[in-house]
Structure formats: structure tokens, C-alpha cells
A = this chain, B = another copy of it.
Amino acid sequence: MADWEKRRAWLRCLNGAVPEELDTPLAVAKYETAAYFSGGRKVEIRLDRELGEGYEIIETENGWLVRGGETGALYGAYALIRACEAGEEIPVGVQKPYYGLRMINCWDNMDGTVERGYAGRSMWFEGNRFDYEPARIRQLGRMLGSVGINVFCINNVNVHQPAQHLLDSLLPDAAAFAALLRPFGVRLMLSIDFSQPMQNGVPTADPLDERVQSWWADTAKRVWTAIPDLAGFLVKADSEHRPGPNTYGRTHAEGANMLARAIAPYGGSLVWRAFVYNCMQDWRDTVTDRPRAAYDLYRPLDGAFDSNVVLQVKYGPYDFQVREPVSPLFFGMEKTPMAAELQLAQEYTGHQIDLYYMGPAWREFFDQMGKKRVKFIAAVSNLGRDDCWTGHPFAAANLFAFGLFAWNPDADPETVLRQWVKLTYALPAGQENKLAVLLMQSRAVYENYTAPLGLCWMVRPENHYGPSPYGYEFQLWGTYNRADRNAVGVDRTANGTGYVEQYPEPLRSLYADPQTCPDNLLLFFHRLHYGFVMKDGRTLIQRIYDDHFLGCEQAEAMAADLSALDLPSPDREEAARRMEAQVQNAREWRDVTNTFFHRFSGVDDAQGRKIYD
């Protein structure tokens, strides 16, 4: 048995592999329930196509009946197993997913690297070709299906050669890969390069050029012939040096619609990322404000997109920082189908070394945005070839929770987490609770010792791990804190860059006034003197010190709590090793951040704790 086969994440209770001859979700649903339930408990799986992705669990004399559509039945089967295994109440009645596309975006490159990947190399690409164990991909499909994820985009949105050939010479390989995931209700998606026609004899990529339209129509036909249930194409255009419609003086709507029309005959979705900003900003320019960029660009285009375009918007206006307000774009595109983009890969949240359970952040996000603002949901993958799948064994909780939140955005993060704990570990009495408490606080702890009060980008530019308060300050990325001896932050009110005006009421007024703005976003919206008095009476500078001392103490306490848990090997050792690194990281963040602000402000800590010169 390969090492990865022994590492089953939350599928501990499902021994062995799903037999490879099972090629439909219905067949898998029957297999999984038959294998799991024993001791006289019987489960009947019944196809009811009208339920689609939904299911109904009905109690029977000696077990349960699960009715559902082809995939719905599978989701019902897994929901039943999860509830039974976790000792929870069985979710009888009809359940349907809230979001239609529940997508994972993988940033895997065909050379085997994973952009912002912290779980090893790609699970399916190596040496510029597909290279994987089929059994492992089936097990991956099982993990995804068990939490209701239904779309899997396998290649990086930054499409590097030879990933362009996924649409031609590598298409049969992509189709073979799709076949491995299909029995688990998971459909493939492909990231494409907007300029791709030009690598195939078309002299332009102008979306209004008929040759370009016809090239994409031909390509779509070829691709959907090979993979009839392909979910769609994912596009990063005119962003961070990627080609796009702006090159030809066309709008993003014109660019997206051209692609959308090529794939519409096959039911495909054209997912267009709204991550567009000026990545060549002059730091001297205080008028341009990167968080404004997406709203300024897309808001005028609302209503101009075809119905099978999906505008995919990151949860905040920057880029997956530890703390950002909800993106105002969610409130500005009433006529455009949108997807919210989350990030499981812990790019700015600790590299799957530091603990960071995302459930609480997502609860806040959905509450701020309102779940109805988007139709779909996506998350950047935290998966890789590491034996434990997600780098840190606890990072699997984020993939698990994403599936459950994508199904039901009203989910309670702690309930979700506790199910994950029970499914993943058989811990002695009391320890389940300790692990859940540890993870539930992890995000607040990480925020305490890193970003102060919504001030973003104080991280090392070269790897996005560890502190560098001025590392981004004079660069081209539009990411400035403008700290000086008196004050810190960017004024994003009407007196400043006006960013806050992009929000509807009541958020606009809430954020615009430092007296009402939530503490944890104060320095996102305001430029404040170090002596600014916070709601609790502390000064801004004292609060920065306090948060960083506290966060580091909390990390040290978490290390003690973790060491008391009887985790199985090798999870125990892996988690301990990473926790040691996290405590080091927390100390570094604490000291660098406090020293940075102390050097500027000259204000000593009120409690006389050690701040290095």
C-alpha cells in the first residue's frame, strides 16, 4: 500500500478503494453505502432524476432510502455516511446545493510545480505531461464527491506552455483524466490562454475578428467532443501581464462573450476572473488605488455579459490577504452571474505550516456579502502530491469545509469542523473538543500576530511568508501602507481615494467613519495617527503592540495544546514540526512588526514588554 493510500483525510471510515469498474455516481453511491453499513442496517439508493444534484434521505425499517438524481444520490449517500460516522442526526428530508458550480481551481503547471502550492508537486502533471496514479486520482474524486464539489479545474490560470495543448494534442489525456473523476460527480474545467489562436496560425486574438471567433468555435467543438461534460473554460485575461481583450481595444465583456458563444452550444460556462488591476503602479501615485480597480472596470459592464459568462470575484478587493473587507463588486453587478473566489492554498495565511481554519472567515464573508449575491463558488486548491494530500494534515479541514459551505453557505463553521474532526481522527474523549477549539481560534491567532487591523501586504514579497513591513512599499504592485513617523495607512474615504464610495449603504457609512469602522478593518480604510484612540480607549500603536504580543502568546499556547493530543502517526509528528515553525514565525512577526512601528512612532509599550531596537 502506497503511503498516500494510508492517509485518508476525512475518508478514514471508507476502507479500500472504489472499484475502478464503477463508472457512474449511482454505482458508486450503491458501493459506498453497501460497504459502509453493516450489522443489519440497509441502505437503498434510488434514482430520481428530477432531484438533479439534490437528494432526499428517508428513514426505513432497517435503514434508509436515499433518493436523488444521478449525482444527488451520491451526495445523499456520502451525507448519510458522514452523519452516521460522526454520530450526528441524520439529515432526513430533501437537500439541494445552494450553488450550482462548486469549483476547485488548481494552479498546477505542467512542469509539475504548483503556483502557490504548499503540499508538494502536482498530483497529475510532471515533466510537461500528465503523470499520475489512476488509483490516486479516483481517491481524489472520492474526496471531492464526498463533500459535494462538482467542478475541478486542473491547470493554472497562468497558462504556461505546454498547457495550451490541453486543447489539442493533450486533449485525449485530459479526457482520460476526466473519466477518472466522472463517477464521483466531478466535471473537469480547463484554464485557457486568451491569445491561444495566435499560437495556431491566426494573426490576432481580437475577439471581434471572425477568424478568432471561428478558431474558438472549432476548438470548442473538438474539446467538447472529447469531453462532453466539460464544465467550461476559466480565463485570466489582462491581468498581471496575461494577454486579454484590452490589447485590441475591446472590453472584457466583448472578450468574454466571444468565448462564451463558442462554448454555449455545449452548455459550457465561461468563467472570467475579475482579478484585474495595474500591476505596474508608481508608488508615488497616490490617486490610483488598487482596491478600486475591479469595480471601476466591471461595474460599467454590468448587463453586457452573456448568460453563460461567470464573473469570478475574489472575496476581497486585494488578493487573499489575511483581512480584507468584502469586495464591493459583489454589490455592483446585479445583472451578471458571479462566482465568489476563495483560496484554500494558504498563500498569505501561513503556507499550510501555520494553522488557519477558514470556516470563521467564510462565515463572516457570507454574512457581509449575502449569499444571494453570487450564483457559484470557487476556491483555489490546497492539494498536492504530498502523502497527506494537503501539506498539513489539518489543512484538509479547509477543503472539507469548502465543500460543505459551497453546498450550504449558511453552514456553521464549528459544526462543520467538528464533523471533520470526528471523521478524520478517533481521538480519546475530550480531545476532539480540544482539537476543534484549537482550530476554531487559529484564524484569529494568525491575524493577531500578522496583519495589524486590516493593514495588508506586510509580508515578504519573494515568498509571501514571514514579515517584511516595507517589503512591498516602493514596488509596482499598488500595495502601500505609507507608514511614517506620525501615521500609517491609506485614506480610502471620500477625502482620500474614494474607495469606500463603491459600497452601498449601510456599509459605506459604516466603513467611512473611523468611529464606526470595525477595528479589524480600521487601517484598511483609514490613515490614522499612532495616537488615535480606539473604541476601547487604547491608542492605535498600543493596540498594534498588544495584538502582536497576544498573537504570539496564543501561538505558544496552541503549541502546548497540540502536544497534548494523541494524534496518530505521522500526523502527530508532522503537525508538531509545523507548529514549531509556526511559533518561530509568530515570534518573528511579533518582533519585526513591533520594532517597525516603534522605530517610526517612538512610542514605548505601555506594559514595558520587550520591543527590540
Binding site for B on A (CB under 8 A): 283-284, 286, 461-462, 467-471, 473-474, 482-486, 588, 591-592, 595, 598-602, 612-613
Quick one: which of A286, A484, A595, A600 has the most chain B CB within 10 A? A484
CB distance from A377 to the nearest CB of B (A): 35
List residues of chain B with CB within 8 A of the CB of A600.
484-485, 599-600
* A602 / chain B contacts, CB cutoff of 8 Å: 484-486
Instruction: Classify the interface of chain A: helix, strand, loop or mixed.
Output: loop
A-B contact pairs, 25 of them (CB 8 A): A283-B592, A283-B612, A284-B591, A286-B613, A461-B462, A467-B474, A468-B470, A468-B471, A468-B474, A470-B470, A470-B471, A471-B471, A474-B592, A474-B595, A482-B613, A483-B599, A484-B598, A484-B600, A484-B602, A485-B599, A485-B600, A485-B601, A485-B602, A599-B600, A600-B600
Closest Cβ of chain B to A439, distance in Å, is 29
Q: How far is the CA of A588 from the CA of B468 in the complex (A)?
A: 20
Task: Tell me the smallest distance from the CB of A258 to a CB of chain B, in Å.
Answer: 37
- Whole-angstrom CA separation of A474 from B461 in the bound complex: 13
Select from chain B the residue with minimum beta-carbon distance to A593. Answer: B474
How far does the Cβ of A295 sit from chain B's closest Cβ, in whole Å?
Answer: 25
A184: min CB distance to chain B, Å:
42
Task: Judge whether A484 and B286 touch: CB under 8 Å.
Answer: no
A285 closest partner in B (C-beta)? B612
CB neighbours (8 Å) of A461 from chain B are: 462
Compute how far the CA of A348 lies from the CA of B595 in the bound complex, rounded to whole angstroms. Answer: 28
Which chain B residue lies CB-closest to A468? Answer: B474
A358 → B minimal CB distance (Å): 28
Q: Is the CB of B592 within 8 A of A484?
A: no
Which 5 A-B pairs give the minimum distances between C-beta atoms? A484-B599, A470-B470, A485-B485, A284-B612, A474-B592
Q: Provide the residues of chain B in CB contact with A462, threshold 8 Å.
A: 461-462
**A599 to chain B: which residues have CB within 8 Å?**
483-485, 600
Chain B proximity of A481: nearest CB distance (Å): 11
Chain B: minimal CB distance from A289 (Å): 14
What chain B residues lie within 8 Å of A482 (beta carbons)? 613
Which residues of B have CB within 8 Å of A470? 468-471, 473
- Shortest Cβ gap from A518 to chain B (Å): 27
How long is the Cα–Cα vector from A547 to B468 in the complex, in angstroms? 27
Residues of B within 8 A of A469 (CB): 470
Given contacts A462-B462, A468-B474, 19 further A-B contacts (CB under 8 A): A283-B592, A284-B591, A284-B612, A286-B613, A467-B474, A470-B470, A470-B471, A470-B473, A471-B471, A474-B588, A474-B595, A484-B599, A484-B602, A484-B613, A485-B485, A485-B600, A485-B601, A599-B600, A600-B600
Chain B hits for A486, CB < 8 A:
602
A599: nearest residue on chain B (CB-CB)?
Answer: B484
Q: Which residues of chain B come closer than 8 Å to A467, judged between CB atoms? A: 474
Q: How far is the CA of A181 from the CA of B600 in the complex (A)?
A: 57
How far, in whole Å, are A484 and B600 apart by their CA atoms in the complex?
Answer: 6
Identify the closest chain B residue to A600 (Cβ). B485
A114–B588 Cα distance when bound, in Å, is 34
Complex contacts, A613 vs chain B, CB 8 Å = 286, 482, 484
Chain B residues lying within 8 Å of A473, measured Cβ to Cβ, are 470
Chain B residues with CB under 8 Å of A592's CB are 283, 474
Chain B residues lying within 8 Å of A595, measured Cβ to Cβ, are: 474
Bound-state CA distance A471–B483 (Å) is 15
CA distance A477 to B507 in the complex (A): 45
User: From residue A570, how far is it (CB to closest CB) to chain B in Å?
Assistant: 28
Give min CB distance, A475 to chain B, whole Å. Answer: 8
Using Cβ atoms and an 8 Å threshold, which residues of chain B touch A484?
598-600, 602, 613
How far is it, in angstroms, between the C-alpha of A486 and the C-alpha of B598 when the chains are bound? 11
State A109–B539 Cα separation when bound (angstroms).
54
> In the complex, what's the smallest C-beta–C-beta distance from A489 to chain B, in angstroms?
13
In whole Å, how far is A482's beta carbon from the nearest beta carbon of chain B? 7
> Which B residues touch A471, using CB under 8 A?
468, 470-471
Q: Which residues of B contact A485 (CB under 8 A)?
A: 485, 599-602
Q: Which residue of B lies closest to A467 (CB)?
A: B474
Q: In the complex, A588→B599 CA distance in Å?
A: 24
Chain B nearest CB from A611 CB (Å) reads 10
Residue of B nearest to A486 (CB): B602
Which residues of B sit under 8 angstroms from A612, Cβ to Cβ? 283-284
What separation, in Å, do the CA atoms of A467 and B474 have in the docked complex?
8
Instruction: Report the minimum CB–CB distance from A473 to chain B (whole Å).
Output: 8
Smallest CB–CB gap between A179 and chain B, Å? 38
Closest B residue to A592 by beta carbon equals B474
Find chain B residues with CB under 8 A from A483 CB.
Answer: 599
CB distance from A226 to the nearest CB of B (A): 36
How long is the Cα–Cα vector from A453 to B470 in the complex, in angstroms?
Answer: 22
Q: How far is the CA of A612 from the CA of B283 in the complex (A)?
A: 9
Nearest chain B residue, comparing its CB with the CB of A473: B470
For A286, A473, A592, the residue with the greatest tally of chain B CB atoms inside 10 Å of its CB is: A473
- Report the separation of the CA atoms of residues A508 and B486 in the bound assembly, to the nearest whole angstrom: 39
Quote the shortest CB–CB distance from A484 to chain B (angstroms).
4
CA distance A470 to B460 in the complex (A): 11
CA distance A592 to B474 in the complex (A): 7
**Closest Cβ of chain B: how far from A591's Cβ, in Å?**
6
Complex: how many Å from CA A613 to CA B462? 25
